[in-house]
Amino acid sequence: MALLQISEPGQSTAPHQHRFAAGIDLGTTNSLVATVRSGVANVLQDQDGEAIFPSVVRYDKHGVVAIGKAAREQAAEDPYNTISSVKRLIGLSAEDIAESAAGMMYKLEKNDSSVPRISTAAGPKTAIEVSADILRALRERAELSLGGELTGVVVTVPAYFDDTQRQATKDAARLAGLNVYRLVNEPTAAAIAYGLDQAEMDATIAVYDLGGGTFDISILKLERGVFEVLSTAGDTALGGDDIDQAVVDWIISQQGIDVGNDAGLQRSLLDQARSVKHQLSSADSAQFELQHGDTSISASVSVDTFNELLSGLLERTLKSCRSALRQAKLKKNQIDNVVMVGGSTRVPAVRAAVSAFFEKEVLTDINPDEVVAIGASLQADVLAGNKPDSDMLLLDVIPLSLGIETHGGLVEQIISRNTTIPAARAQEFTTYKDGQTAMALHVVQGERDLVRDCRSLGRFELRGFNPVVAGQARIQVTFQVDADGLLTVSALEKASNVHAEVQIKPSYGLLDSEIESMIRDSMTNAEQDVAARMLQEQRVEAERAVEALDAAMAKDADQFLDQSEKQKILDARASVLESNDTGDSEAIKKALRGLEKVSEIYVSRRMNASIGEAMKGKNIDSYAKQDNPS
Amino acid sequence: MAITLTDAAADRVKTFMDNRGKGVGLRLAVRTTGCSGMAYVLEFADELDEGDVVFEDNDVTVIIDPKSLVYLDGTELDFGKEGLNEGFKFKNPNVKDECGCGESFTV
């Protein structure tokens, strides 16, 4: 008998069509997976009731021999084949890694490939492959817990991750057989877990994340349900591990131990320090007990000693907080909420210091180890379509530019790619022909200059505005993308107040790969696009000129021109039309210049005549009055 | 005519309803889809529809439309675990046959 969950009204799925979604916090030290069941977000536990999954993989010649907790326990016996903190390496080059502390711990393969590989008993492994092994284990846990395959996941990444690191994380997830709905910034996920995204009011949020191996402070701005990262600061080599190391260093100096090159002893010391740290969160003192080879330690650590060991480290985190505030151009009292993330924020001294710094109660209700995964699972649940549409929230940017077709099949970009949504931009357009009373608007998406190379999203018409001379009408076109990613394009002709609009879903049906290739095309075809744009612009210009000339000549050519003048103009007009078919923008330009030259006399005669007409029967004074509107 | 909940199911439903913070009860229904005739529907209810039958059992308000009640009368809703998986089970005396997974059934 299948086990069912309670759905939101009207959101029940057909049998075997469940949309199982999960949020994954892929951490440096520990990872977690969470899901929403019957409306409640919870982290998923293993058979032993453990939610935390150490991000550690041990390899032997057959591949993965231990993962998670088991691998961490075996790290001391097999340090070189047991890979931890692989997140520090993901997306980095061999040079970057060689310089990093994490890189020192493992043997790196020497080869020509730009992707660095760690040598293990199972052969060379990239950081992406190691991450994929961790993700695969989390996927298994989620699928066993949900009773079916995952439809998709949200994976969290640090706010400061660059494109390469984000892409590498995505690749790892794909390698693990996961469909990634989206990568979400860790601080954003934490804020979502506290429901801060549901707030009616805009807010500024500080997320203090002291994890196992990294410290991050992020300042987020929530505006109309969308998070923007205002600033990030931190220390990629500061975290719970450093607290453990500080305890180890203290023990070593107290006990006079020589660790030497014994990686196993170093690991055992750290494990014991971690246990002391955990005990001191709720006790005034703890025992440090260790038996490793010839080394035997038994020492008492008081909470006062511990806090003292911590103080330098805490001051470093607060320095980062100050720097993040400075970058965001904010003062401490402008922060509305402080969210605490990471297991190390359980340490009472850490909470007290942060609370004192921001002069505010800090949010600690949700387990700080789980808060990021929980936020990610809430987001995944929404993205899987398990919530009514009204709850849909996209924390996203526009993937491809949005624009409108202008005369000659050219694209005028209105909202450029990577603009955060919601967004609204307006631009004014005008008519192309005299007496025009309608305008066709064609909405397109893409980075290319010509409409035919972009994706057509929709068309609509603005009809019934007053006829005026070409170029006189002012039509304001507004593009608006709301938080749901829904695009509304509206057009307004100001003089006659005629209005029309259309609604479009822009990214619908566009695969990531398509988006990537469209962006790539725009780069590789840049030169070609520029030439095509120039040609089109010349063609439009030529057509416009001929059209205007024809209109004028039909009216009064005989009045202002003698036969030979008229013939010259008609010849020039013919060569413009001829050049227009050649596809050579220079030729068109030249022909146009010729036409302009021979028509000069005609234009000036018409101008004089119309000015004379307008001034007939009026004296200079009446003009002076008109020139000075009250 | 009645629908009942085991203590385990009632406990969970109450927790989930509290967490959700709104709603008038738990809606049970059947839908004529699925690999073997009918499928169960289990949803939070925000409003009553015309003709809905309402039961109170174990402090939980169960809402069901009259057509579904024909197929669900006498059902006991249970909550259980199978390995890491957990969720609600329909113990429905009207069922003659189920698909392998038990998500759909015939009467």
**pLDDT computed for residue A94 by the predictor:** 72
What's the rounded mean pLDDT across residues A3-32?
84
What's the rounded mean pLDDT across residues A282-288?
90
Same domain assignment for residues A469 and A522:
no
- Name the residue with higher pLDDT: A18 or A87: A87
Range with the poorest average pLDDT among A160-169, A275-284, A542-551, A616-625 = A616-625
Range with the poorest average pLDDT among A79-93, A295-309, B4-18 = A79-93
Residue A595 predicted with pLDDT over 80:
yes
Same domain assignment for residues A93 and A202:
yes
Please indicate, yes or no, if residue A625 is contained in any of the structural domains: no
Q: How far apart are CA A428 and CA A145, in angstroms?
A: 55
Tokens, residue B88: 């609600």
Domain boundary among A371, A395, A419: A395
Residue A365 CB coordination number (10 Å): 9
Radius of gyration of chain B (CA): 13
Q: Tell which B residues from 78 to 107 touch A, by Cβ distance under 8 Å.
A: 80, 82-90, 98-99, 101-104
Torsion of CA A323, A324, A327, A333, to 10 degrees: -100
State the Cα angle at A289 between A263 and A313, rounded to 5°. 70
Residue A623 predicted with pLDDT over 60:
no
| pLDDT bucket at A402, cuts 50 / 70 / 90 | confident
> HSE (CB half, 13 Å, CA atoms) of A514?
11
Chain A CB contacts of B84 below 8 Å: 44-47, 141, 144-145
Residue A472 predicted with pLDDT over 90:
no
Exposure string for A144-161, b = 16+ CB within 10 A, e = fewer = bbbbbebbbbbbbbbbbb
- Angstrom CA distances, A157 to A23, A88, A90, A136, B97, stand at 12, 12, 11, 17, 47
**pLDDT computed for residue B30 by the predictor:** 84
Tokens, residue A295: 């080394």
Please indicate, yes or no, if residue A9 is contained in any of the structural domains: no
**pLDDT computed for residue A507 by the predictor:** 43
CATH of the domain at A275: 3.90.640.10
Chain A CB contacts of B101 below 8 Å: 2, 15-16
Domain boundary among A276, A308, A340: A308
Please indicate, yes or no, if residue A169 is contained in any of the structural domains: yes
Sheet of A498-504: strand order equals A423-429, A475-481, A487-493, A498-504
Residue of A3, A47, A390 best to disrupt the B interface, most CBs of B under 10 A: A3
Residue A388 predicted with pLDDT over 90:
no
Cβ-contact A604, A552 below 8 angstroms:
no
Mean pLDDT, all residues of chain A:
83
Same domain assignment for residues A196 and A251:
no
Share of chain A above pLDDT 90, in %: 28
| pLDDT bucket at A418, cuts 50 / 70 / 90 | low
What is the extent of the structural domain holding A488?
Answer: 402-510
**pLDDT computed for residue B5 by the predictor:** 93
Task: Give the total number of structural domains in chain A.
Answer: 4
For residue range A232-268, what is the model confidence (pLDDT) as tens digits?
Answer: 888 877 888 888 889 999 998 888 888 777 778 888 8
- A298 phi, psi to nearest 5 deg: -145, 110
**pLDDT computed for residue A508 by the predictor:** 39
Residue of B36, B43, B84 best to disrupt the A interface, most CBs of A under 10 A: B84
Cβ-contact A332, A230 below 8 angstroms:
no
What's the rounded mean pLDDT across residues A327-337?
92
Q: Is A91 exposed, middle or buried (0-12, 13-18, 19+ CB in 10 A)?
A: buried
Instruction: Say which amino acid occupies A629.
Output: P
* Three-class DSSP category at A234: strand
Please indicate, yes or no, if residue A628 is contained in any of the structural domains: no
Q: How far apart are CA B104 and CA A158, in angstroms?
A: 43
Same domain assignment for residues A588 and A608:
yes
With CB atoms and an 8 Å threshold, state whether A6 touches B16.
Answer: yes
Q: Is A600 exposed, middle or buried (0-12, 13-18, 19+ CB in 10 A)?
A: exposed
Range with the poorest average pLDDT among A77-86, A381-390, A545-554, A571-580 = A381-390
Q: Please write down the long-range contacts of B53-59, taking CB distance under 8 Å and 24 or more positions apart.
A: B53/B1, B54/B25, B55/B2, B55/B3, B57/B2, B57/B3, B57/B4, B57/B5, B57/B10, B58/B4, B58/B5, B58/B6, B58/B7, B58/B9, B58/B10, B59/B10, B59/B14
Please indicate, yes or no, if residue A13 is contained in any of the structural domains: no
**pLDDT computed for residue A378 by the predictor:** 92
Cβ-contact B99, B34 below 8 angstroms:
yes
Same domain assignment for residues A442 and A469:
yes
**pLDDT computed for residue B34 by the predictor:** 46
Pairing mode, strands A63-67 and A56-60: antiparallel
Closest CB to A144: pick one of B31, B33, B85. B85
Domain boundary among A308, A329, A353: A308
Instruction: Name the DSSP class of A343.
Output: G
Instruction: Name the DSSP class of A344.
Output: G
Same domain assignment for residues A77 and A173:
yes
With CB atoms and an 8 Å threshold, state whether A15 touches B90.
Answer: no
CATH of the domain at A518: 1.20.1270.10
Residue A621 predicted with pLDDT over 80:
no
- Angstrom CA distances, A604 to A550, A600, A607, A609, stand at 16, 6, 5, 9
Please indicate, yes or no, if residue A54 is contained in any of the structural domains: yes
Q: How far apart are CA A175 and CA A629, in angstroms?
A: 71
For residue range B22-31, what is the model confidence (pLDDT) as tens digits?
Answer: 899 999 988 7
| pLDDT bucket at A217, cuts 50 / 70 / 90 | very high
Identify the residue whose tokens are 């995964």.
Answer: A373
Q: How far apart are CA A412 and CA A429, in angstroms?
A: 10
Chain B CB contacts of A144 below 8 Å: 83-85
**pLDDT computed for residue A506 by the predictor:** 45
**pLDDT computed for residue A630 by the predictor:** 40
Please indicate, yes or no, if residue A223 is contained in any of the structural domains: yes
Same domain assignment for residues A171 and A59:
yes
Share of chain A above pLDDT 70, in %: 86
Same domain assignment for residues A252 and A284:
yes
Tell me how many residue pairs between chain A and chain B have CB atoms under 8 A apart: 94
Question: Which residues of A are catalytic, by number?
Answer: 25, 87, 186, 209
Task: Give how far B1 is from chain A: nearest CA, Å.
Answer: 23
List the alpha helices (DSSP H) in A330-369. Answer: 348-358
Residue A25 predicted with pLDDT over 60:
yes
Residue A231 predicted with pLDDT over 50:
yes
Chain A CB contacts of B89 below 8 Å: 1-4
Instruction: Say which amino acid occupies A55.
Output: S
Mean pLDDT highest for which of A13-27, A309-323, A529-543? A309-323
| pLDDT bucket at A624, cuts 50 / 70 / 90 | very low
| pLDDT bucket at A505, cuts 50 / 70 / 90 | low
Closest CB to A144: pick one of B20, B80, B83. B83
Residuewise pLDDT in 10s, chain B (107 residues):
688 999 999 999 999 999 888 899 999 988 766 455 678 889 999 989 888 899 999 999 999 988 888 888 899 999 998 888 889 988 888 877 766 556 666 66
Task: Give how far B65 is from chain A: nearest CA, Å.
Answer: 14
**pLDDT computed for residue A332 by the predictor:** 92
CATH of the domain at A453: 2.60.34.10
Residue of A7, A8, A12 best to disrupt the B interface, most CBs of B under 10 A: A12
Residue A594 predicted with pLDDT over 90:
no
Instruction: Name the DSSP class of A540.
Output: H
Same domain assignment for residues A60 and A207:
yes
Same domain assignment for residues A289 and A353:
no
What's the rounded mean pLDDT across residues A329-350?
93
**Closest alpha carbon within chain A to B37:** A15
Pairing mode, strands B76-82 and B4-5: parallel
Residue A578 predicted with pLDDT over 80:
yes
Residue A78 predicted with pLDDT over 70:
yes
Cβ contacts of residue A67 below 8 Å, gap of 6+?
A56, A57, A58, A133, A134, A137
Task: Give how far B73 is from chain A: nearest CA, Å.
Answer: 18
**Closest alpha carbon within chain A to B86:** A3
- Name the residue with higher pLDDT: B46 or A396: B46
Q: How far apart are CA A160 and CA A157, in angstroms?
A: 8
Strands (DSSP E) along A142-202, which ranges?
Answer: 152-157, 180-185
Same domain assignment for residues A351 and A444:
no
Residue A387 predicted with pLDDT over 80:
no
For residue range A101-159, what is the model confidence (pLDDT) as tens digits?
Answer: 555 567 777 665 567 788 888 888 888 999 999 999 999 999 999 888 899 999 999 88
**pLDDT computed for residue A392 by the predictor:** 47
What's the rounded mean pLDDT across residues A432-454?
84
Please indicate, yes or no, if residue A611 is contained in any of the structural domains: yes
With CB atoms and an 8 Å threshold, state whether A3 touches B85.
Answer: yes
Same domain assignment for residues A208 and A272:
no
What's the rounded mean pLDDT across residues A197-216?
86
CATH of the domain at A75: 3.30.420.40
